[in-house]
Amino acid sequence: MSTLGSIRKRSTLLLSVIGLAMLAFILGDFMQSKRSGGSGGIFVGKVADEEISIQAFEARVQKGTENWKASNPNSTLNQGTMSQIRISIWDEYIKELIMDVEFEELGINVDSEEMFELFQGNNVHPEISKIQIFQDPNTKQFDRAKIIQYMKNIENEQNAEAREQWLGYEKYIRTLRKNEKYNSLVEQGMYVSSAEARTNFNESNANISFEYVPVSYSFIADSLVDISEAEIKTYYKKNISQFQQDESRDVKYVVYAVLPSGKDDEDTKNNLDAITETFTAYEDYEVFVRRNTDNNNAIFNFVKEDAILDTNVTSLFSDEKGTVIGPYKFSETTYRVSKLTDLQYRPDSVEARHILISPTQAMSIDSVNKKIEALKLSIEKGADFGEVARKESEDKGSAIKGGDLGWFKEGAMVAEFNDICFTAERGKLTIVQSQFGVHLIEVTDKSKKVKKVKIAYIDRVVEPSSETYHNYYTQAAQFAGALLNTDTTTFDDLADANNLIKRDEAKVIPSKQDIPSLKNSRAMVRWMYNANIGDISEVFEFGNSYVVATLTKINQEGDISLEDIKEQVTAIVKKQKKGKIIIEKINSESFSTLTDLATRMNSQIQIASKVNFLNNQIQNLGNEPQLLGMVSSSETNEIIEAIEGENAIFVAKVISRNEVRDSGDFSKQKKQMFTTIIRNASASVYNALKEDAEVIDNRNDFY
């Protein structure tokens, strides 16, 4: 087992020991401290009667951010990720506050004896037993002795942060156990009766088949339907509950996308030209390229003539070593200098096999090298390479084939592996380390040698200079200034006069993180909620763009104004009036079969099968709840009166259905229903508690 000293040297290992996945930003500072809301007088929210101070919330966000960085050391923390961290911290914070009240009222707790059992007893919690450092390295089974030793070491640990992390983990397990007990109580309150199971069985197995005649609303021309203002207003008032909205804003804006100037293009070429002479003379071309290129993924492979992808430098294949071409325009936004650094006659392709051993927490790179050396020695003494590969190699794809990789061309493998394979002697065992671990390689065959060259490229991307950025900013500032300093020019008129494209975004809610096409534009959303209609914004900088905006509308929470949805309401009223006319027309017709009706209404009989009440979709029709309800409750072979559906007026007749079962064994249905209820019970109960807690969320005032 790793000692605490080695754990301190490798902080990521410490985090994995205490369950990094559980301490990451989703849980944030869930185990960090008792809530401390109300300490600062500025509150980010309120749950029931408890206020959450911005200081307390920010402390948790900071902890969550640190955890995210620890678990994503090679990633950049951007605005989007930061937003997700805050959302996750907020969700966990309010859940903690809500559930703590429930735990206390119900007397749910985890005492010291139960904690001992969870960590060291016969019923260790699964979250603990799955931690790798507490498992036997050979059997991968939980080893009680390892956690006991670790906890003893923690007691003597001088590193306060390590102790704090472990105590936090204990709190996490305690809370997890409380939630398990609570969910168990909820489950005990769930029940499915035999009558419910019987009803559910019959509804899901009805398998109704029916014929229907659809009459499209377009059967009546729009010109034949007059809609009055009074009818529109009446429908709107009667159905106002359907026309609700959240608080939002409408905005209009112009974008000054910063593009490189002609001078920027010329300067880029000149700067690259200035290092060409040095590049020509510099022997360590790899170091020079990596220091000077804008291409962070530069590779240095030997290629045949037909594999030179840059057609500007195909002539280098016949030139002398050290020849340099450029600078030249490689693409619309990139200049390039190319150098022939080497030419050799090398195999066109090779056949090889390998054994891969990768380092782990339990096996250092030194131990890996020793194991590879031992395997090499064993094979050199007569052991079969294929058998050793099948038993030892961690590249399972090739291990089952005795380590065989087949034939491959230059550049197909990572650089270190490639170079060994194309330079090693056939049949000789060689060792090389790559990003995947340590390889024991044997080249089993080679093709004939062909001429290949290695070309090094230095790329420089043409980017806007500081002067160019300043010029664009000046244009944006002048645009905003002209609007702020005059009452005679409108936003639209000035944008048109400057040949600027006006863009707009409607219904922007307070929590929206970005305006589409404007990356990291949260600042603009926050401005919108502090602005009045007609206000002109400051000049925003988002990526390579400057933006000036004006607020065009404030949409208050509640009823949507009739003015905003008049067209929608008009269409609904017109559809209803058409439906009544069509139904009157159908009822006036004398028909005894659906075939007669279809002929009279210029329609055709359609058939739907395997329809049941629990599935709201009807074949070829989609969602038609009125039709579904009628056919589910109708007798077989009876023509159902005309129904006003979503897409048409329907007249239908049920032609077959499964018989209803009033008795029998419905235990399977009962079990399925109970499983579904239990699966959703925890979330449903929490959502009810959350609604009852009347959560107030003021995060948008701060972020």
pLDDT at 501: 96
C-alpha–C-alpha distance, residues 382 and 395, integer Å: 22
Q: Name 599's Cβ contacts closer than 8 Å, sequence gap at least 6.
A: none
pLDDT at 541: 96
For the chain, the domains span: 4-187, 206-243+563-656, 248-259+465-559, 262-346, 349-447
Q: What is the secondary structure of 451-464 as a DSSP string?
A: EEEEEEEEEEE---
C-alpha–C-alpha distance, residues 336 and 668, integer Å: 70
- DSSP H helices, 381-486, are 385-392, 396-399, 415-423, 466-484
C-alpha–C-alpha distance, residues 577 and 583, integer Å: 10
C-alpha–C-alpha distance, residues 49 and 692, integer Å: 11
DSSP label of 62: H
Q: What distance separates the 2 farthest-apart alpha carbons in the chain?
A: 100
Q: Please compute Rg for the chain using Cα positions.
A: 36
Q: Could you confirm whether domain 206-243+563-656 is CATH 3.10.50?
A: yes
C-alpha–C-alpha distance, residues 650 and 213, integer Å: 6
Q: Name 175's Cβ contacts closer than 8 Å, sequence gap at least 6.
A: 30, 31, 96
The partner residues of 254 in beta bridges, in order of sequence, read 548
Asked if residue 28 has pLDDT above 60, the reply is no
pLDDT at 665: 87
Q: 2.70.70.10, 3.90.550.10, 3.90.1300.10, 3.10.50.40: which CATH number matches 349-447?
A: 3.10.50.40
Its pTM stands at 0.71
Burial call 19-33: b when 16+ CB within 10 Å, e when fewer: bbebbbbbbbbbbbe
Asked if residue 669 has pLDDT above 70, the reply is yes
- Are 166 and 155 a contacting pair, CB within 8 Å? no
pLDDT tens digit sequence for 124-149: 999 888 888 888 878 888 888 888 88
The partner residues of 201 in beta bridges, in order of sequence, read none
Task: Write a three-state SS string for 260-296.
Answer: CCHHHHHHHHHHHHHCHHHHHHCCCHHHHHHHHCCCC
C-alpha–C-alpha distance, residues 44 and 432, integer Å: 55
CB atoms within 10 A of CB 499: 6
**Residue 107 φ/ψ region, left for φ over 0, alpha for ψ in the -120 to 50 degree band, beta for the rest:** left
- Are 213 and 575 a contacting pair, CB within 8 Å? no
pLDDT at 49: 85
Is the bond preceding residue 359 a cis peptide, omega within 30 degrees?
Answer: no
- Are 390 and 400 a contacting pair, CB within 8 Å? yes
pLDDT tens digit sequence for 181-193: 999 999 888 889 9
- Is 173 in a helix, a strand, or coil? helix
- Is 445 in a helix, a strand, or coil? strand
Strand order through the sheet with 404-409: 404-409, 349-357, 437-446, 429-434
C-alpha–C-alpha distance, residues 584 and 588, integer Å: 6
Question: In this structure, what is the dihedral angle of CA atoms 526, 532, 533, 538, given to the nearest 10 degrees?
Answer: -60
Asked if residue 603 has pLDDT above 90, the reply is yes
- Is 143 in a helix, a strand, or coil? coil
Q: Name 229's Cβ contacts closer than 8 Å, sequence gap at least 6.
A: none
Asked if residue 337 has pLDDT above 60, the reply is yes
pLDDT tens digit sequence for 245-263: 999 999 999 999 999 999 9
C-alpha–C-alpha distance, residues 60 and 38, integer Å: 15
pLDDT tens digit sequence for 71-96: 888 888 888 899 899 999 999 999 99
Q: Please report, in angstroms and rounded to a whole number, the separation of the first and last CA atoms in the chain.
A: 45
pLDDT at 78: 86
Asked if residue 11 has pLDDT above 70, the reply is no
pLDDT tens digit sequence for 505-532: 999 999 998 999 898 899 999 999 999 9
Q: Measured between alpha carbons, how far is residue 56 from residues 50, 79, 103 in Å?
A: 12, 21, 22
- DSSP H helices, 396-465, are 396-399, 415-423
CB atoms within 10 A of CB 89: 25
Which residue in this structure is represented by tokens 């099948």? 390
Q: Name 36's Cβ contacts closer than 8 Å, sequence gap at least 6.
A: 53, 55, 56, 59
* Residues 32-42, mean pLDDT to the nearest whole number: 41
C-alpha–C-alpha distance, residues 580 and 588, integer Å: 12
C-alpha–C-alpha distance, residues 17 and 463, integer Å: 45
What integer best gives the mean pLDDT of the chain? 89
pLDDT at 290: 93
C-alpha–C-alpha distance, residues 433 and 354, integer Å: 12
pLDDT at 346: 94
The partner residues of 446 in beta bridges, in order of sequence, read 350
C-alpha–C-alpha distance, residues 268 and 331, integer Å: 13
What percent of the chain shows pLDDT beyond 70?
94
Q: Name 594's Cβ contacts closer than 8 Å, sequence gap at least 6.
A: 211, 212, 213, 605, 639, 651, 653
Residue type, 456: A
* Residues 584-605, mean pLDDT to the nearest whole number: 92
The pLDDT-based confidence of 53 (bands split at 50, 70, 90) is: very high
The partner residues of 443 in beta bridges, in order of sequence, read 352
* Residues 231-246, mean pLDDT to the nearest whole number: 96
- At the topology level, CATH places domain 248-259+465-559 in Chitinase A; domain 3 (3.10.50)
pLDDT at 526: 94
C-alpha–C-alpha distance, residues 441 and 430, integer Å: 5
C-alpha–C-alpha distance, residues 98 and 269, integer Å: 62
* Residues 356-363, mean pLDDT to the nearest whole number: 87
pLDDT tens digit sequence for 477-514: 999 999 998 888 899 999 999 999 999 999 999 999 89
pLDDT tens digit sequence for 92-129: 999 999 999 999 999 999 999 999 999 988 889 998 88
Burial call 454-464: b when 16+ CB within 10 Å, e when fewer: bbbbbbbebbb
- Length of the chain equals 703
* Residues 648-674, mean pLDDT to the nearest whole number: 89
Q: Name 45's Cβ contacts closer than 8 Å, sequence gap at least 6.
A: 51, 52, 57, 90, 94, 695, 696, 697, 698, 699
What percent of the chain shows pLDDT beyond 90?
68
pLDDT at 216: 95
Asked if residue 36 has pLDDT above 60, the reply is no
The pLDDT-based confidence of 21 (bands split at 50, 70, 90) is: very low
Asked if residue 18 has pLDDT above 70, the reply is no
